[in-house]
Amino acid sequence: MRRGWRRPAAQTGPSVVIIGGGFAGLSALNALASARVAVTLVDRNVYSTFQPLLYQVATAGLTSADVAYPLWSVTRKTGARFHKGELTKVDAGQQKVRLNDGTELGYDYLILATGVSANFFGIPGADKHSMSMYTRRDAVAVRERLLDELEQRSWGTSSADLNITIAGGGATGVELAGTLAELRNIALPAAFPAIDPSSMHVTLIERAPDLLAAFRPHQREYARQQLLKRGVDVRLNSTIKEVTTDSVSLADGTSVPTVASVRESAVTLTSP
């Protein structure tokens, strides 16, 4: 038997439908691997996304394939079935779900693990003028926009400074700000020698008095110092009031011109 290969269990017993092949859905799938149940995993994509590395995709350090793995290979190992489709309706009375391709799947037990979506906290303009970074497609869109902005400056079709604003000093915001600053400091001179690195600005905006609220105080301060060292403009105690096509307005009356603003789950790319 191949290493890591589990003999598929017989598809007998009560039927379990899991909607969503993210961390939660796959965890449920593994937990049920040895149970006498017939499991069907449904996801709108044929792959599962490793979200913690999306910031690397967004900054061109990894390809999108590096953060995705096929769901059928996971279900094959656990003896479950995989069905690609998007959930459109749950009929709890009839104990069945409907997918966007018209398929109906009956179930004895239903596990909904569809994750969450980007939260713009009701900030005017945020949903319109920012790009989410929650899915693999989002990260690719951010990367393409960034590279496009750099290309334009490299060929002289734009001479505007490249202002990138990241909203949210959680783990993703900190990682993204640091990586963008490194991209500017290290990769830019090599890949785009025509662009003056000092014309690219990375700003990180956080409403709280510290970055990385979940971490210990000395770790929060260490992260801030590391970002400052890399030339990130870290703004604490700053609340975003509005996002427009060319700036991020703060509650204190100031604003940050921006080409790209990023939050844990949202990236804004606008031109000054």
Q: Which residues contact 198 (CB under 8 A, 6 or more apart)?
A: none
Query: Taking CB under 6 A as the rule, does residue 173 contact ligand FAD?
Result: no
Return the residue of 90, 141, 160, 171 that touches ligand FAD, per CB under 6 A.
171
Query: In Å, what is the CA distance from 64 to each residue of 79, 139, 164, 188?
Result: 27, 8, 22, 21
Query: Taking CB under 6 A as the rule, does residue 210 contact ligand FAD?
Result: no
* Footprint of ligand FAD on 51-110 (CB under 6 A): 51-52, 54, 86-87
Closest contact distance (angstroms) between CB of 248 and ligand FAD is 19
Closest contact distance (angstroms) between CB of 117 and ligand FAD is 8
The residue ranges of DSSP E strands in 94-245, in sequence order, are 96-99, 104-106, 109-112, 131-132, 162-167, 200-205, 233-235, 240-243
Return d(Cα 24, Cα 14) in angstroms, integer: 20
Of the candidate spans 1-9, 39-47, 199-207, 254-262, the one that interacts with ligand FAD by CB under 6 A turns out to be: 39-47
Output the six-digit token pair for 263: 């939050």
Looking at the Cβ atoms of 91 and 196, the one nearer to ligand FAD is 91
Return the residue of 9, 16, 17, 20 that touches ligand FAD, per CB under 6 A.
20
Query: Taking CB under 6 A as the rule, does residue 21 contact ligand FAD?
Result: yes
The separation between CA 223 and the C-alpha centre of its own chain, rounded to angstroms, equals: 21
Of 103, 66, 69, residue with least CA distance to 84: 103
Q: What count of other Cβ atoms lies within 10 Å of the Cβ of residue 35?
A: 12
Looking at the Cβ atoms of 125 and 168, the one nearer to ligand FAD is 168
Looking at the Cβ atoms of 160 and 171, the one nearer to ligand FAD is 171
Closest contact distance (angstroms) between CB of 208 and ligand FAD is 18
Closest contact distance (angstroms) between CB of 5 and ligand FAD is 23
Return the residue of 113, 177, 211, 212 that touches ligand FAD, per CB under 6 A.
113
Closest contact distance (angstroms) between CB of 122 and ligand FAD is 19
Return d(Cα 160, Cα 162) in angstroms, integer: 6
Query: Taking CB under 6 A as the rule, does residue 22 contact ligand FAD?
Result: yes
Closest contact distance (angstroms) between CB of 73 and ligand FAD is 15
Query: In Å, what is the CA distance from 236 to each residue of 123, 131, 180, 217?
Result: 18, 22, 19, 14
Closest contact distance (angstroms) between CB of 113 and ligand FAD is 5
* Footprint of ligand FAD on 180-209 (CB under 6 A): none
- Position of tokens 């449920």? 28
Length of the chain equals 272
Of 134, 137, 145, 151, residue with least CA distance to 260: 145
Using CB under 6 A, list all residues that contact ligand FAD: 19-25, 42-45, 48, 51-52, 54, 86-87, 113-115, 133-134, 171-172, 265
